[in-house]
Amino acid sequence: MSEPVLEPTTDRGRATRQALLDAAEEVFGLVGYNDASIGEITRRADVAQGTFYVYFPDKRAAFSEVVRQVNRKVRHASTLGTEGAVTRMDAEKGGFRAFFDYIEAHPSIYRIVRDAEFVAPEAAGAHYEAWARPYAAALREAQESGEFADGIDPDLLAHLLMGLSEFFGQRLPRWESLGREESIDQLLLFVERALTADDPRSHTVKRVMNQGDNK
Amino acid sequence: MSEPVLEPTTDRGRATRQALLDAAEEVFGLVGYNDASIGEITRRADVAQGTFYVYFPDKRAAFSEVVRQVNRKVRHASTLGTEGAVTRMDAEKGGFRAFFDYIEAHPSIYRIVRDAEFVAPEAAGAHYEAWARPYAAALREAQESGEFADGIDPDLLAHLLMGLSEFFGQRLPRWESLGREESIDQLLLFVERALTADDPRSHTVKRVMNQGDNK
Amino acid sequence: MSEPVLEPTTDRGRATRQALLDAAEEVFGLVGYNDASIGEITRRADVAQGTFYVYFPDKRAAFSEVVRQVNRKVRHASTLGTEGAVTRMDAEKGGFRAFFDYIEAHPSIYRIVRDAEFVAPEAAGAHYEAWARPYAAALREAQESGEFADGIDPDLLAHLLMGLSEFFGQRLPRWESLGREESIDQLLLFVERALTADDPRSHTVKRVMNQGDNK
Amino acid sequence: MSEPVLEPTTDRGRATRQALLDAAEEVFGLVGYNDASIGEITRRADVAQGTFYVYFPDKRAAFSEVVRQVNRKVRHASTLGTEGAVTRMDAEKGGFRAFFDYIEAHPSIYRIVRDAEFVAPEAAGAHYEAWARPYAAALREAQESGEFADGIDPDLLAHLLMGLSEFFGQRLPRWESLGREESIDQLLLFVERALTADDPRSHTVKRVMNQGDNK
DNA sequence: AATGAATGAGAGTTCATTCAT
DNA sequence: TATGAATGAACTCTCATTCAT
């Protein structure tokens, strides 16, 4: 006697469902999973409270889907930032910046991503894994080509970089004294050093040293 | 007329209060702030439900204090790990390792730290700031002594390192395939590269270089 | 203006209606009136939820009709069991047995019959009355012919026997230790004694006595 | 993290609990399990809705306890009716009559007993079994002493008699045309015949016969 | 005749908090 | 200082029913 909660068949149904999903994203982002109430969601979606349960079996299921939706968007935005890059390091920088731009424009998704870890771990996990796979592959390539230093498992590396970007992205405002751009630059410098095991700010100097050494 | 939620004056009072705090830490850690109920806390502390409000004005206040208690412990454990280190880099490594050991032995504090950001941001913030201040000072010193590369604001650096350790510490089990020790080693390698802008895996060569340089 | 909840005019309509009725019988029997949901009924009948209200004004009306349908079947089965009996007592036994067989093969109707008393008393009452009338007539005849002892109102008697059969039929499994056949035999012995005021297990003896008496 | 729902320790608590139980009996009896609402129960008990859950984990648990309470009362009343009886048959008659009196004075318990079978089968079952055990023992004794005919398992017999009394008790009003007393008398006649396999209305005659037989 | 979307009242339940003792 | 009882607002979820197509 299980409930069905089917995919909608009509356009009207699909529209309502999406309206609910969007409203849910808003509310979850604003007040977090626990304080989000179905009532507030349906109010914003302009439907009756019961309608929620036409499309989602319960609050968690809706949240889980919101998480997937949000992650899809984030990933998309980040990926856009990597396009056109020549070196892998440039791709990294572009990806990081695009991610920061996106998260700054949609600050509430942070809350969703955080809650996801406990409320919808399956969705959260899937997101990280889905992201990590191609990311790690790209990193491995860069290691093999010599652009990046090796000695660190690419999968681990991918997670470290995701963690850094998330952590930093969520705290960007903290460094307003340093300035948004400057703090991003410094973060990227940190990342570059870690990846290349080399100080880009003293390239010329080192090169000279190295040349001397090589003799 | 309003009860001021007394600091306990008697020994018995202090004991009860601490029992509540410990029980609260358990419960908050187990199920998170929202799903933690006062009833469960008092049950574990073996006191009546009303007693809770003798010591805390409300749930949030107790949580806030738990957060402080937890952070104090974490900081303490980490700091112990840095003792006896000669170089700053060794101190970093010791601190990281001690932190991982502690978090692995007390996995539930993770949940508390996470929730703190939204539920008791003042306590969470205070923790990071309190930690960051001496940390940043130590990093600045290492930069000035030339042990660490400069170009990155020490305060920002301190936060990046705290972020990394937290992120990684919470996911240690993910890399069981790599092995706990190996994955920690790789993380530390990542950190070392980022801090020294230098690949420690080629130290001998460099040291030679440096020696020649020093003359 | 109000839709009259039409008797279906087309074959297709009749089929849908019957499908709904059968599905309803299933669901009502399985979980009882209250826990039965229109949604589950229409799902099993493989029609849209709205279709239900094309044929029934509301849940109760459908239930009421299910009750009638069920009772009709039960009565039919019982009556079949009485056919071909020579004495009234044999008819009783046959009817009882047929009833037990039927209820054992369709255990869920029990639930429907029970609920009917509160949810659709008119249908339940009609059933008992419809059954009682001919039943009482047959009993009266048996009393008048001397086959059954008199002194008990035939209508009351009919109800007692219906009550007994229902009560016992619903609990048949309880006496598995005694064995299904043996427990039925004993029930029928109970009934026979009550009806004939005579112990069939000592017939020979009594007959002798009676013969002696008749002289 | 299971809920406690303790037995109350204070008098006040015990009183509240009993008030809830009594209110619940009223409401369950009036409208049945499903249509009974916690709100109505607490309103009648004159406590807040939340108080209900201080004493019962959920609606079913309260119902289950009501069932036990009701059954205890019924059994008590019936048993009182058997006291002072000399023969077993007199005890039967007294018990039946007392049961009818009680059920007539508290008609709503019928609804509770009926619902119990589906909602709280454990409580319902326990009731019948608890009642059947001593009942069956008494019947066996009467069979062994020769007062009652044997050939029917005493346990089965006990259930048949409980079933009869319940069925009949609940329908007493149906035979108002016959008159309450007369219909009870006829029921008891039915029972007596079934138990003694003998027609009490022709005792003198039979006795004579038997005497002749004994020679 | 049939559909699937939408409704909204109402249910049971939870729990932080207050209160009298 | 401590207790256990009591509170009541708020929440999620269900479901019979209506409606537009």
**For residue range A32-48, what is the model confidence (pLDDT) as tens digits?**
999 999 999 999 999 99
C46 to chain A nearest CA, in Å? 13
Query: Which chains form contacts with chain A, at 3 or more CB pairs under 8 Å?
Result: B, C
Return the partners of chain B (3 or more C-beta pairs < 8 Å). Answer: A, D
Residue D23 covered by a domain: no
* Distance measured from the CA of protein residue B50 to the C1' of nucleotide E13, in angstroms: 21
**CB-CB under 8 Å, A167 with B175:** no
Residue B211, pLDDT above cutoff 50: no
pLDDT > 70? residue A151:
yes
Q: Which residues of A fall below an 8 Å CB-CB distance to B?
A: 32, 34, 111, 114, 117-118, 149, 151-153, 155-157, 159-160, 163-164, 166-168, 171, 174-175, 178, 183, 186-187, 189-191, 193-199, 201-202, 209, 213
| CA–CA dist B10, D13 (Å, integer) | 31
CA distance D118 to C118: 14
Cβ distance C151 to D201 less than 8 Å, yes or no, reads yes
Contact A156 B187 (CB under 8 A): yes
Q: Which of C133, C119, C130, C1 minimizes the C-alpha distance to C63? A: C119
Decide if D75 is inside a domain.
yes
Name the protein residue, with chain letter, whose CA is nearest the C1' of E7. Answer: A48
Mean pLDDT of C141-160: 95
Residues 6+ apart with CB under 8 A from D210: none
Residue A25 resides in a domain: no
Comparing alpha-carbon positions, the chain D residue that sits nearest to C155 is: D175
Measured CA to CA, the distance from residue B15 to residue B21 in angstroms comes to: 10
> Is A29 among the domain residues?
no
What CA–CA distance (Å, rounded) separates A85 from A92?
Answer: 9
Q: How far does the CA of residue A99 sit from the closest CA of chain B (Å)? A: 17
d(CA A102, CA A94): 12
Would you say residue C210 has pLDDT above 90? no
The answer to whether D3 CB sits below 7 Å from nucleic acid chain E is yes
- Find, in chain B, the residue whose alpha carbon is nearest to that of D5: B39
Average pLDDT over residues C17-23: 96
Residue tagged 């047995």 (tokens): C97
E18 C1' – B51 CA distance, angstroms?
A: 12
pLDDT in tens, C26-39: 999 999 999 999 99
So what's the pLDDT on residue B13?
A: 85
User: How many structural domains are present in chain B?
Assistant: 1
Q: Distance in angstroms, CA of A108 to C1' of E18?
A: 36
What distance in Å separates the CA atoms of residue B103 and residue D141, rounded to the nearest whole number? 73
Residues in chain A: 215
Answer whether residue D72 is part of any domain: yes
Q: At what angle do helices A11-35 and A59-82 cross, to 10 degrees?
A: 100
Gap from B44 CA to chain A (nearest CA, Å): 23
* C167 located within any domain: yes
CA atoms of C158 and C29, how far apart (whole Å)? 26
What is D10-57 written as a DSSP string? SHHHHHHHHHHHHHHHHHHHHHHHHH--HHHHHHHHTS-HHHHHHH-S
Which of D1, D3, D9 should one mutate to test binding to chain B, selecting the residue with the greatest count of B CBs within 10 A? D1
Cβ distance of B160 and A167 shorter than 8 Å: yes
A window 51-90: Cβ near strand E (< 7 A) = 51, 53-54
Tell me the per-residue pLDDT of B92-113, one tens digit each, with 9 for 90 and over: 999 999 999 999 999 999 899 9
Nearest to D154 by CA among D168, D167, D143, D170: D143
Residues of A in contact with B136 (CB under 8 A): none
All residues of chain B having their beta carbon less than 8 Å from the beta carbon of residue A152 are 186, 189-190
Structure tokens at A109: 């998704």
| D56 CB-side CA count, 13 A | 21
Confidence (pLDDT) at B200: 77
In this complex, the residue of D34, D171, D194 whose CB is nearest that of residue C190 is D194
Q: Which residues does C34 contact at the CB level (< 8 Å), separation at least 6?
A: C115, D34
Q: How much is the pLDDT for C197?
A: 84
- Helix or strand holding residue D106 (H, E): none
Looking at the predicted structure, is the pLDDT value of residue A202 above 90?
no
Dihedral of alpha carbons A94, A99, A102, A104, sign: negative
Which residue do the tokens 């992650």 mark? A71
Task: Give the torsion through C-alpha atoms of A139, A143, A147, A151, to 10 deg.
Answer: 110
* Chains C and A are touching, with contact defined as 3 or more CB–CB pairs separated by less than 8 Å: yes
Interior/surface letters B1-40, b for 16+ CB within 10 angstroms, e for the rest: eeeeeeeeeeeeeeebbebbbebbbbbbbebbbbebebeb
The continuous run of DSSP H or E covering D145 comes out as: none
Q: Which residues of B touch A197 (CB under 8 A)?
A: 193, 197-199, 201
Residue partners of A51: CB distance under 8 A and separation at least 6: A16, A20, A42, A45
A42: nearest Cα among A19, A62, A66: A19
Which pLDDT does position B139 carry in this prediction? 96
Q: Which residues of B touch A193 (CB under 8 A)?
A: 149, 193-197
Sign of the four-CA dihedral B180, B185, B190, B195? positive
Sequential DSSP letters for B114-127: HHHHHH-HHHHHHH
| Confidence check: pLDDT of A69 > 90 | yes
For C192, nearest residue in chain D (alpha carbons) = D194
Q: Is D32 within 7 A of strand F by CB distance?
A: no
Return the residue in A33, A113, A118 with the most chain B beta carbons within 10 A, the one to mutate for interface testing: A118
Mean pLDDT of A145-149: 95
The 3-state secondary structure of chain A, one letter per residue? CCCCCCCCCCHHHHHHHHHHHHHHHHHHHHHHHHHCCHHHHHHHHCCCHHHHHHHCCCHHHHHHHHHHHHHHHHHHHHHHHHCCCCCHHHHHHHHHHHHHHHHHHCCCHHHHHHHHHHHCHHHHHHHHHHHHHHHHHHHHHHHHCCCCCCCCCHHHHHHHHHHHHHHHHHHHHHHCCCCHHHHHHHHHHHHHHHHHCCCHHHHHHHHHHHHHHHC
- From CA B149, how far away is CA B156, in angstroms rounded? 14
Min Cα distance C114 → chain D (Å) is 8
Instruction: Round the average pLDDT of chain D to a whole number and report it.
Output: 90
The Cα-based distances of B152 to A189, A197, B139, B157, B196 in angstroms read: 8, 16, 10, 7, 11
C6 φ, ψ (degrees, to nearest 5): -60, 145
Residue C36 lies in a domain: no
Q: Per the CB < 8 Å rule, is C194 touching D194? A: yes
Q: D5 beta carbon < 7 A from strand E?
A: no
Which nucleotide in the DNA or RNA is closest to residue A55, CA to C1'? E5
Please list the ranges in chain D whose pLDDT falls under 70: 1-3, 202-215
DSSP calls for C12-75 = HHHHHHHHHHHHHHHHHHHHHHHH--HHHHHHHHTS-GGGHHHH-SSHHHHHHHHHHHHHHHHH
CA of D48 to C1' of E18 (A): 14
**Residue of D111, D164, D186 lying closest to C153 (CB–CB):** D186
**Residue C30 has what pLDDT?**
95
Q: Which range of residues forms the domain containing residue D66? A: 59-197
CA distance A186 to A192: 10
Asked if residue D147 lies in contact with residue C151, where contact means CB atoms within 8 angstroms, the answer is no
Please check whether residue A127 lies inside any domain of the structure: yes
Residue whose tokens read 């297990």: C201
pLDDT score, position D215: 36
Please list every residue in chain B whose beta carbon sits closer than 8 Å to the beta carbon of residue D53: none
Task: Spell out the alpha helix ranges (H) of B120-214.
Answer: 121-144, 154-171, 180-196, 203-214
Model pTM above 0.85: yes
**Nucleotide minimizing C1' to CA distance for residue B53:** E17
Other C-beta atoms lying within 10 Å of the C-beta of residue C76: 11
Gyration radius of chain A over CA positions: 22
- Domain containing residue B121: CATH number: 1.10.357.10
The chain C residue lying nearest D180, using CA atoms, is C156
What's residue B145's pLDDT?
95
> Smallest Cα–Cα separation from B184: which of B119, B124, B69, B95?
B95
C-beta atoms of C40 and A1 within 8 A: yes
Nearest to B197 among A183, A193, A213 (CB): A193
User: Is D146 within 7 A of strand F by CB distance?
Assistant: no
Query: What is the pLDDT, as a whole number, of residue B5?
Result: 60
Between A16-20, C159-163, D174-178, D196-200, the lowest mean confidence (pLDDT) is in D196-200
Which of residues 118 to 147 on B have a Cβ less than 7 angstroms from any strand E atom?
A: none
For chains B and D, tell me whether 3 or more CB atom pairs sit within 8 A of each other: yes
Dihedral of alpha carbons B85, B91, B93, B94, sign: positive
Residue C96, Cα to own-chain centre: how many angstroms?
A: 10
Q: What percent of chain A has pLDDT over 70?
A: 92
Residue B10: the pLDDT is 83
Q: Identify the band that residue C141 occupies on the pLDDT scale cut at 50, 70 and 90.
A: very high
* CA gap A146, B210 in Å, rounded: 24
> Strand F: which residues 30-59 of B lie within 7 A (CB)?
47-51, 54
Which tokens in the block code for residue C174? Answer: 């309880």
Does any strand E atom come closer than 7 Å to the Cβ of A175?
A: no
Spatial separation of the C-alpha atoms in residues D46 and D30, rounded to whole Å: 18
Is C167's CB within 8 Å of D168's CB? no
From the CA of D117, how many Å to the C1' of F9? 35
